[in-house]
Amino acid sequence: MATIEAVRGDITTQRVDAIVNAASTALLGGGGVDGAIHRAAGPRLLAECRELRRTRLPDGLPTGQAVATGGHGLPARWVIHTVGPDRRAGQDDPALLASAFRTSLGVAAEVGARTVALPAISAGIFGWGREEVARAAAETVHEHTPETLLLVRFVLFSEELLASFRDALDLD
C-alpha cells in the first residue's frame, strides 16, 4: 500500500519518479502548474509534446485522460500530463475530475514509476473548489492507486489547499 502525503511546495522540485502536470488539451504549456513545469523542464519538453500532438494526439489530450513524456530538465524522470475538467467551460462532472487523477496514477504505474507527485488538478483557473478537488483526489487515490506505487504525494501551492487535502486524506 502506498504512502500518501500532502505537502506545500513546488512540484517542479520534487525528487520523485514522476510528476503530474495539470495540462491544457493542447499540451503546449500555459499558466499555473502547466507553465511552471514547462519552464522548469526546458524546451525539450515542449518539443516532445509537439511531437505527441503531431503523431498520437492531433486533436489534443481529452479531458480526464493522461499521457507521459520525459522529465527533461526536471528532477523527475517522467511528466504525466492530464487535462482536468474546466468548470468555467461547463465541465462540471466530478467523474471527469476523478478520471484525471485515476488515469494519471495508472500512467505513472505503466511507465514504471514507484513515486509520484500530483497537484490540485482543476483547482486553479479551471474553477473547481478546493474541497471538491481534495475530496475527489482522496477518494481516487484510496480506491485506484496501483500496487506498484509506493508513494503518492500531493504538492500544493497554498496553505488553504494543503489544509483541504490534509482533511480529505485524513492526515494529521
C-alpha cell at 30: 500555459
pLDDT in tens, 137-150: 999 999 999 999 99
pLDDT for the residue 1: 82
Residue 101 has pLDDT above 90, yes or no: yes
Domain borders along the chain are: 3-169
Active-site pick, 10, 34, 86, 172: 34
Q: Return mean pLDDT, the chain.
A: 96
Q: Rounded distance, CA 4 to CA 93, Å?
A: 25
Query: What average pLDDT score do residues 31-60 get?
Result: 96
Is residue 170 among the annotated active site residues?
A: no
C-alpha cell at 82: 492530464
Q: Rounded distance, CA 10 to CA 131, Å?
A: 20
Confidence of residue 125 (pLDDT cuts 50, 70, 90): confident
Residue 26 has pLDDT above 90, yes or no: yes
Burial annotation 126-137 (CB, 10 A radius, 16+ → b, else e): bebebbbbbbbb
Tell whether pTM > 0.75: yes
CATH architecture of 3-169: 3-Layer(aba) Sandwich (3.40)
Q: Rounded distance, CA 172 to CA 108, Å?
A: 26
Query: What average pLDDT score do residues 125-134 get?
Result: 95
Residue 59 has pLDDT above 80, yes or no: yes
Phi and psi at 21, nearest 5°, equal: -105, 125
